[in-house]
Amino acid sequence: MLDQKLIRENPTFVEKFLSLRGKGFNISHINKLTIQKKEIDIEISTLQSESKKLSKLIGQEIRNSNNPNSQELNKLKDEGNKYRNKIAEFEDKKRILDKQIYDEISRLPNFPSEDAPLGESERDNIQIKVWGDHFKKENFKSHWEIGEDLNIFDSLKSTKISRSRFITLTGNGARLERALINFMLDIHSKNGYLELMPPALVNSESLQGSGQLPKFSNESFKCANDDLWLSPTAEVPITAFHKNEIIDPKLLPIKYVAYSPCFRREAGSYGRDTKGLIRLHQFNKVELYWFSDPNTSLEAHQQLTADAESILQKLNLPYRLVDICTGDLGFSSSRTFDLEVWLPSSKCYREISSCSNCLDFQARRSSIRTRINKKTAYLHTLNGSGLAIGRTMAAILENGHQSDGSVKIPEALVPYFGSTFIKST
């Protein structure tokens, strides 16, 4: 969430930075609301000061008068009641304004970083580096064709269980998914991350805190009878894990890794990736999350990205690192590096992790602070997949596919999977 004081005092600056996202923003109506609120705050403070002075006069009159019902004392008490009524009236107005302002500001995205490349869409993203060997042979099979040949997942029968865009992993498919989850959790835990397994159901306040609500309400699954939603990403419950806390600066950075099932109603473009593991309504993910000192979050962003990269390197999966332009940034992100894995069948890279620095955007929404120079300040939050499990499996199937139809398991994963190849059964 953006700073309300900044919106009130410098709306032109706010509009200028938001416009870097590729479209214009007019926040004049929010600016007027914040000015009204400031005026009410001043009025309430003035009334409270006058009321306090009056209370002292009443106390003096009670001590100096032998008559508790004197005309002067009753007059002072009537005046005191008038002040209380006025204060209550202004506080009611303030509560209404507070809600209006929160609702409006919560719809504004984060400021893009000045270091992010300027651009309007993914076409303007900048490739930073490419890693790994890309197979040159033609006629690669898609991962869903390979999966069907090896009988490791079933999407058709899954429609009987739920509906399209869900999948049931079978045999070696379930085994590979489990191996990947354990492999990623172990690697990140050894790198200093504390493992969490958060709830899969989250309340509205948690979604608001991380930036999913109100903007992405149509993309999430909500429980009909409760204020609970199926979590779209572990980023949501981990952000809320320290909601309304002041974290000792000596504990920073706090680094979490969490496996979680993720649920998204809008799983991607219609007519695209409707088969296989790329865009599903339910998928598994290992999430990396940092709570960082604001002064070191840029370095933290580089390290978090490197930690996610290390999984791809250990699995020997070709990928590239992309700097996301201002117009393609996620709602809560100020700067994002995408990791995109190579899928031979489509001869292109596909996103497998978005590593984002949200600065104080989520911390402000969730009231998560630390102390800097003896003053409280919002800390910075960072997140990134480490990695998306289904997409990692898709990449292993396509990049490890052999001429005899089997799939070679990456060497680092063999101890977890228990075999060097997946073969037809």
CATH number at residue 256: 3.30.930.10
Q: Which has more pLDDT, 165 or 65?
A: 165
Single residue among 52, 75, 105 that ends a domain in this structure: 105
Higher confidence at residue 224 or residue 171? 171
Question: pLDDT of 325-353, one tens digit each?
Answer: 999 999 999 999 999 999 999 899 999 99
Q: Which helix (H) or strand (E) holds 127?
A: strand 126-131
Q: Which residues contact 404 (CB under 8 A, 6 or more apart)?
A: none
Q: Rounded CA gap, 405 and 397, in Å?
A: 10
Of 31-45, 215-229, 249-263, where does mean pLDDT reach its minimum? 215-229
Instruction: Tell me which of 33-47, 52-66, 165-179, 191-205 is least confident.
Output: 52-66
| pTM metric for this prediction | 0.91
Terminal CA-to-CA distance of the chain, rounded, Å?
53
User: Looking at the structure, do residues 89 and 168 belong to the same domain, yes or no?
Assistant: no
**Dist. CA 147–CA 342, nearest whole Å:** 17
Q: Is the pLDDT of residue 118 over 80?
A: yes
Q: What is the mean pLDDT of residues 359-379?
A: 97
Measured CA to CA, the distance from residue 334 to residue 236 in angstroms comes to 17
| 99 and 197 belong to one structural domain | no
| Lowest-pLDDT choice from 137-141, 240-244, 388-392, 403-407 | 137-141
Instruction: Find the domain containing 43 and state its range.
Output: 4-105
The average confidence (pLDDT) of the chain is 93
Q: Identify whether 117 is part of a domain.
A: no
Q: pLDDT tens digits, residue range 215-252? A: 888 899 999 899 999 999 999 999 999 999 999 999 99
CATH of the domain at 69: 1.10.287.40
The pLDDT of 60-74, averaged and rounded, is 70
- CB-count exposure of residue 85 (10 Å: 0-12, 13-18, 19+): exposed
| Alpha-carbon gap, residue 359 to 21, rounded angstroms | 16
Average pLDDT on 20-42 reads 95
Looking up tokens 């599903």 gives 280
Residue 139: per-residue pLDDT:
62
- Chosen domain end from 39, 70, 105: 105
Total of domains in the chain: 2
116 inside domain: no
Q: Give the confidence band of 80 by pLDDT, cuts at 50, 70, 90.
A: confident
Last residue of a domain, one of 80, 105, 130: 105
Which of 384, 232, 233, 390 minimizes the C-alpha distance to 308? 384
Strand intervals (E) in 243-318: 245-247, 254-263, 282-292
Report the pLDDT value the prediction gives residue 56, as an integer from 0 to 100.
Answer: 82
pLDDT of residue 66: 66
Q: At what angle do helices 11-18 and 28-64 cross, to 10 degrees?
A: 140
Residue 144 backbone phi and psi in degrees, to 5: -75, -30
User: What are 228's two structure tokens?
Assistant: 């609970």
Q: Does residue 372 share a domain with residue 313?
A: yes
